[in-house]
């Protein structure tokens, strides 16, 4: 994909997320791998609703900022996914309301954050790891992702927001939307004896769709 098109796609998808209330104000950040091995990253303090394709932070393949504005303070998160997952072509981080709410629930599963309510989060995300609370911008967030050794495509930062890596920008955005939708469903049925997918149904999905599903 030409870099000009990639820049425009990043801003278009980010605006779509913003317009539908999946992250607000100047929250959230997005990045994508360029054809030459570098990165395009949303700048610090910018709104997903008003990203400028020409001002995205541009890194070369050695991780040096060569053009654009200063990048998001969450670069450690993005770098951790790219360094540990060779399949990562894009990373998205949102401050999405329902997933943050679910992260505050005392019974949220740290190893498998999302309950198996529909097939789609399983297919797009595999198991989502719930990480503890970190101060915004703390490099320890990146260290926590590196500690997963590339085994997860998505993490949930407690009291903060989800982070998802995908093969490209569209895939990463689709997956993080599924994460938020599933968390919203979980909040809607909380306290109700809702029928979730059975363990056998989950395993069938994992097998049929070749889902990363570490034990």
- Residues serving a catalytic function are 74, 120
CB-neighbour burial class of residue 74 (10 A; exposed 0-12, middle 13-18, buried 19+)? buried
CB-neighbour burial class of residue 208 (10 A; exposed 0-12, middle 13-18, buried 19+)? exposed
HSE-up of 145 (CA within 13 Å, CB side)? 27
Strand bridging mode 57-59 / 129-131:
unpaired
Q: How far, in Å, CA of 204 to CA of 172, rounded?
A: 23
């Amino acid at each position: 994909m030409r870099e000009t098109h990639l820049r425009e796609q990043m801003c278009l998808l980010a605006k779509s997320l913003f317009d539908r209330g999946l992250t607000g104000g100047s929250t959230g950040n997005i990045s994508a791998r360029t054809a030459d091995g570098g990165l395009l990253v949303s700048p610090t303090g910018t709104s997903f609703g008003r990203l400028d394709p020409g001002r995205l932070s541009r890194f070369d393949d050695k991780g040096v900022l060569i053009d654009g504005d200063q990048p998001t303070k969450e670069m450690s998160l993005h770098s951790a996914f790219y360094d540990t997952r060779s399949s990562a072509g894009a990373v998205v981080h949102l401050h999405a309301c329902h997933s943050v709410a679910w992260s505050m629930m005392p019974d949220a599963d740290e190893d498998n954050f999302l309950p198996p309510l529909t097939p789609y989060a399983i297919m797009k995300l595999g198991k989502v790891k719930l990480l503890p609370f970190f101060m915004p911008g703390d490099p320890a967030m990146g260290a926590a992702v590196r500690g997963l050794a590339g085994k997860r495509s998505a993490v949930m930062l407690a009291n903060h927001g989800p982070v998802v890596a995908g093969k490209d920008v569209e895939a990463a955005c689709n997956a993080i939307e599924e994460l938020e939708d599933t968390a919203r469903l979980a909040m809607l049925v909380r306290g109700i004896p809702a029928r979730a997918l059975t363990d056998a149904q989950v395993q069938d999905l994992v097998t049929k769709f070749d889902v990363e599903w570490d034990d």
